[in-house]
Chains A and B, each alone.
Chain A
Amino acid sequence: MYSNKVIDHGTPARPGPATVTVQIDGAAVTVPAGTSVLRAAVDAGVRIPKLCATDSLEAFGSCRLCLVEVEGRRGFPASCTTPCEPGMRVRTQSKRLADLRRGVMELYISDHPLDCLTCPANGNCELQDMAGVTGLREVRYGQDGANHLTGAKDTSNPYFSFDPTKCIVCSRCVRACDEVQGTFALTVQGRGFDSKIAAGPVDFMASECVSCGACVQACPTATLIEKSIAEQGQPDHAVVTTCAYCGVGCSFRAEMKGAEVVRMVPHKDGKANHGHSCVKGRFAWGYATHPDRIRTPMVRDRITDPWREVTWDEAIAHAAREIRRIQDRHGRDSVGGITSSRCTNEETYLVQKLVRAAFGNNNVDTCARVCHSPTGYGLKTTLGESAGTQDFDSVEHSDCIVVIGANPTDGHPVFASRMKQRLRQGAKLIVVDPRRIDLVRTPHVVADFHLQLRPGTNVAVLNALAHVVVTEGLAKEDYVRARCEAAEYEKWKTFIALPKNSPEALEAETGVPAAQIRGAARLYATAGNAAIYYGLGVTEHSQGSTTVMAIANLAMATGNIGRPGVGVNPLRGQNNVQGSCDMGSFPHELPGYRHVADAATRERFAARWGVTLQDEPGLRIPNMFDAAIDGSFKALYVQGEDIAQSDPDTQHVQKALESLECLIVQDIFLNETAKYAHVFLPGSSFLEKDGTFTNAERRISPVRKVMPPLAGLADWEVTMALANALGYPMHYRHPAEIMAEIAELTPTFAGVSYDKLDRLGSIQWPCNDAAPEGTPVMHEQQFVRGKGRFVVTDYVATPERTSRRFPLILTTGRILSQYNVGAQTRRTGNTAWHRADELEIHPHDAEQRGIRDGDMVSLQSRKGETTLRAVVTERMQPGVVYTTFHHPESGVNVVTTENSDWATNCPEYKVTAVQVVLQAHKSDWQLGFAQAAEQQIGLLPGRARRGEGG
């Protein structure tokens, strides 16, 4: 259950301005209309006993423990299901009530094992607490009657267990799974005395359960309980921090015992997640103390040499010496750095500052290059700000939700649950995706339209949608006239109305029936509040930036920007990809998305940092690789990113890394990139440092240190040491001082401080004098750039075409239980759900090739080949295959190509022409990879190697 140190209000808050005043045990309390008596009592400081109610769920009224007396009414109404009415006088204690409550408890306890002292929930159990407050002293029925004390425990889930003998059948778990998570994996089996909670006809692991943990939090007993609590005992204190996995940025209570995490529980006051979580943040944190963690700095001269463990001072001095030596020989621009979307804002800021001020160039880039760089470009061009327009709560006001190239139930699960809540309330849903993702049809949710386009035709589909809006007179001309540039709009309108953009004309190209496009366009334009959510299926294309602008065009034309319920919302992949972009990680932009050529901004930074700054953009990641191969780029500092695994065209990347004279890798594990490194600086996990992450809704949330860094230094301290060794002084005593500098130099962050974060919990930028508490919804009065700008979005097919040799299209993505390159999740119990990357293929394509479900197949492109297991599924459309990239040895990016977005070089992961054939053995690349991996582990010093092996 949730910690009993946190107040449970019993029933959910009721929003709204109207209030009622009631008397509870003689004290007056004023609450929003619709508030239950139970909740009002908590507000008045009175805790009415309860068992089946909790504030994350609608009241159910089954346990009869929360009975009260209401003056002038007969009987004993349940306070959880009784709304407050004006003037109501409630009595929560009387002899009669005490007897009734004790009677209820007696019945529960007569069928409950009396092993409180050895129970894992001891000290944090509502049933135990209720036995206490109701004054239960004896159980007259004895325990010899018919009971449920012999049920078998279900331990199939890696993270929690289900012990039916302790269950009181309050159904909080079932309701949590239905209402909060929206998976409907649990039910009350049977009825009456036979009632029992069941995950359908099977155990938890074989059921539909996605292991979000909502039922475990909701359970008032030890029936559903974290295995970590059973093993380690109850926590002694808790620290509020932020999940380090995805861009939802859930707030968590790290429940601790000394410096040991006992469990992570989603924080009820977290504004991104409101007390919900997914399997990753909730349970998959064990990697932080995994034996594979490297705890000592290491250096070597050549990448074929064994690593030497050295002190921090030696490692830092060595790295600094190498950088200066290389710059002396090959010029100032021969070195660069890569920031991480996994690290904090403060750390990212420091790395780009190090590159610009200490290296003296603009050769800094970030992993957002390979995911959301087109978002930055596209939204900046059209709306004026490189970020999503809404907060997550906005979805509660949406009447129509469009999901394009995103798979929220896997990629952004907690937000997906919110979205599904709204869809179950009746909002309409349009899914634009080559695959039949879960949202298309999942229990109690069905998409109204699924535009199952051919990969690579996003712009064509969006143009066709806009064509319908414009030619059928559905555009909101008033809105556009008031808020957008008129001339550009007219130009766009003329373009989009051309017959070549009609759904009929594009049908052959996109594969989407024109009638569906027309239907979807009408729905989007006329539903009321319509919101677009999109993901990497939009950006990772040769026309990624064009697609983002086409989305913005469509939203502006229909007046769907600038209020709750609407907007254009990129679902950011990594926890801090928004933040790393905000912090000036791109070679052409200083923090706050200001171009390095902008003299005024540059001067401010130069003055504050005491250096002169280059006014020309530096190298992007792909340029760095090319320059490394041609010999002009020699040293790279990579913080917390595994470019060797995550970037496309692996063999090209490997060649580039091998060409470097000095590669400095800072990471918590010896990742793939580290295998090419000369200096290894051990990183720190999110549990080991203070800082902030910024999520997909621009929300800056605190990350708090709960344990000392395993290797002695937090990542920001390492960057600082490197700067100092390079002769550029950095002396921050705490990340709060770094944030103060960011706020001083960045207008959108001007009002952000650690004090304010402590006070408000989190802040959505822009935060400044105009919006001192932050900005949930952007572009409310006008667009950030002034007038919104329509951009003509010509559809240009990707050069990547299928051919006789490569007749299928490969698209890539991820799944719920694994995260990105898998460095963390592969080192947790989550492997129970996903042990290896698999290739999804349509039955028709499989049959043609003689492939059966579970066969090993070779996936081949003009770039390379790799062998993996096939899954035959109708989620795919014929002609398209799909896989994930969570495991290095599957080498999916050996197959992807060098194609990229025209504006930002974001790689085209989502379209590769491939062939699939039956193949039992591994590809040459995989054999080479396995050999090299083994070799590298052999080069680790003994102590670290034992870790890698274990």
Chain B
Amino acid sequence: MHESRSQAVPVDPAAERAAIEAAIEQCRDLRGATLPMLHAIQDRLGYVPAAAVDAIAAACNLSRADVHGVLTFYHDFRTAPPGRHVLKVCRAEACQAMGCERLERHLADRCGIAMRGTTADGALTVEPVYCLGNCALSPSVLLDGRLHGRVTPERLDALLAAAEARA
């Protein structure tokens, strides 16, 4: 979670508030509730809105900085709504060795986004991951939760086109 909020996908403040409240209620009594709360919010909304930091800090009697630290420590959290499709590109050793930068470069050329971000039309969010456990078939990506190995730029285009057609 390091990318600033993209304006590509509109947000619904009322839904944000409701999701935050529900998540806090659900996890209030857990020990170390911050992380479960953040997950519960992301599960509900697909991202963690800025307002969640203040709300969790107040609920858990932490500082805002405490919560911000947790939120930013985990790569999984997003602070803006994702696009219609989420593509996670592996950047760990095996995939690097097998040329994942080619995929990165291709994405930059094709969609105008770097390794983290959402396209202007809100179609696609790209995020890095570190090892998908699919090293034998690297380079690997995860598209909308499905794992694909030995991905070339051409295959990536095909996968994205197919996904967009399904949506």
Contacts and interface: CB of A to CB of B under 8 A. Distances in A.
Contacts of A443: 57, 61-63, 66
Contact of B63 (A183, A189, A194): A183
B26 interface: no
A703 B17 CA distance: 54
Interface string A181-195: 001111111110010
B63 A185 contact: yes
A188 B69 contact: yes
A328 B68 CA distance: 73
- Give the interface SS of chain B, mostly helix, strand, loop or mixed: helix
B102 interface: no
Contacts of A207: 64-65
Interface string B67-79: 1110011000000
A185 B63 CA distance: 6
Tell me which of A184, A185, A198, A200 has the highest count of chain B C-beta atoms within 10 A of its own C-beta.
A200
Interface in B50-68: 50, 53, 57, 61-68
B65 A200 contact: yes
Given A194-B2, A200-B53, A201-B53, A189 B72 contact: yes
A184 B73 contact: no
B75 to A, nearest CB: 8
Interface string A173-215: 0000000000111111111001000111110000110000000
A96 interface: no
A195 to B, nearest CB: 9
A446 B64 CA distance: 16
A444 interface: yes
B68 A187 contact: yes
Nearest to B58: A441
A187 B69 contact: yes
Contact of A198 (B1, B57, B62, B65): B65
B63 A184 contact: yes
A188 B72 CA distance: 9
A190 B72 CA distance: 5
B2 A187 contact: no
A187 B63 CA distance: 10
A185 B65 contact: yes
Tell me which of B2, B57, B61, B66 has the highest count of chain A C-beta atoms within 10 A of its own C-beta.
B66
Nearest to B70: A187
B61 A446 contact: yes
A442 B65 CA distance: 13
A186 B50 CA distance: 17
Nearest to B74: A191
A562 B77 CA distance: 54
Contacts of B63: 183-185, 200, 208, 443
B64 A201 contact: yes
B128 to A, nearest CB: 11
A86 B141 CA distance: 56
Contact of B68 (A191, A194, A201, A446): A201
Contacts of A198: 65, 68-69, 72
A193 to B, nearest CB: 11
Contacts of B73: 188, 190-191
Nearest to A183: B63
B64 A190 contact: no
Interface in A899-923: none
Nearest to B63: A184
A203 to B, nearest CB: 12
Given A190-B2, A194-B2, A200 B68 contact: yes
A191 B50 CA distance: 19
Contact of A444 (B1, B62, B68): B62
Contact of B61 (A185, A201, A444): A444
Contacts of A183: 63
A208 B65 contact: yes
Contacts of A446: 61
B61 A186 contact: no
Nearest to B62: A443
16 contacts: A184-B62, A185-B65, A188-B69, A188-B73, A190-B73, A191-B72, A200-B67, A201-B64, A207-B64, A208-B64, A443-B61, A443-B62, A443-B63, A444-B61, A444-B62, A445-B61
The 6 closest A-B pairs by CB, nearest first: A187-B69, A184-B63, A200-B65, A187-B65, A443-B63, A200-B64
Given A190-B2, A443-B62, A443-B63, 19 more contacts: A183-B63, A184-B62, A184-B63, A186-B65, A187-B68, A187-B69, A188-B69, A188-B73, A189-B69, A190-B1, A198-B68, A200-B53, A200-B64, A207-B64, A208-B63, A208-B64, A443-B66, A444-B62, A446-B61
